[in-house]
Structure 1
């Protein structure tokens, strides 16, 4: 972050709030002209500060409103076993995030499904078919208090 100045940080903040903003509008908010803002954005993209642009969808409207965190403990920890687990997890569209964690479990999965029946089907017909899972613990979200995709600085 040492390569970023105040204007770069303002650009990043604005793009996190609305990545669909056009260059002219963004430049006006920053009291700059469009060309330097455009050049800064391109540099931020090249340097990897901006990884990609996305549209955030409404989970409820997409019939994926139930959030479940599932902790997974593997039976064994050989390198190929972990790699196979990761390959299988990445292929499941219900899993939107996967973290390798320290503690009692090896992985934490964030899963979006329609409802409890959908989650049961997911566990019985997809998750349980993955080899080397020793133990799981499901945590069901009752209410989302804070959810943000923005990094603050």
Structure 2
């Protein structure tokens, strides 16, 4: 991050707010002409500061009314078992995030479902059947207070 100047940071901030911003509008917002702005954006992409672009979808419009966090515990800590678990989780679209964590759990999953019944079936038939899982604890989100809007840029 130390090789980023103020203009690079401004570009990153703007595209986090609007990934579909035109180069002309981006250049205007960061105080550059279009060619140098496009060049900087390509460099930021090539240097790995920008991993990709995506749309933010509405859970409500898609009928996904439940967001749950699930603490997953293993009784046996075996690398091959953990690898299988992680590989299987990658193939489950309802699990929108998975973190290997420290503390009393081994993994923290973020899961979306249509409703509580749908979530219960998914937990019983899918999550509890994943390799290595010996216990799970669900934490239901009652209200999303702050949504992920991007990474902080100093």
Q: TM-score range by the shorter chain?
A: over 0.9
2:66–2:113 contact (8 Å) kept in structure 1: yes
- Is this contact kept in 1: 2:70–2:111, CA < 8 A? yes
Q: Which position in structure 2 is the counterpart of 1:85?
A: 85
Matched, 1:103 2:95: no
Deviations for 1:87-117, whole angstroms, at most 9, x for unmatched residues? 1111111100000000000000000111101
- The 8 Å contact of residues 128 and 134 in structure 2, kept in 1 or not, is answered as no
Aligned to 2:141: 141
Q: Which residue of 2 aligns with 1:124?
A: 124
TM-score by structure 1 length? 0.97
Alignment size in residue pairs: 153
Moved more, 142-151 or 98-107: 142-151
TM-score by length of structure 2 reads 0.96
Shift of 1:64: 1.3
Q: Which runs of 5+ in 1 are unaligned?
A: none
- Secondary structure of the corresponding residue to residue 110 of structure 1: strand
Who is 1:74 aligned against? 74
> Within the alignment, does 1:3 sit opposite 2:10 as a pair?
no
**Where do 4+ consecutive residues of structure 1 move more than 3 Å?**
none
- Following the alignment from structure 1 to structure 2, what is the Cα–Cα distance between the partners of residues 7 and 27? 10
> 1: distance between equivalents of 2:73 and 2:45?
37
Task: Find the aligned partners of 1:72 and 1:31 in 2 and give their Cα distance.
Answer: 48
Contact 2:24 2:34 in 1 (8 A): yes
Two-structure CA RMSD over aligned residues (Å): 0.9
Give 5+ residue unaligned stretches, structure 2: none
Q: What is the alpha-carbon distance in structure 1 between the residues aligned to residue 80 and residue 6 of structure 2?
A: 45
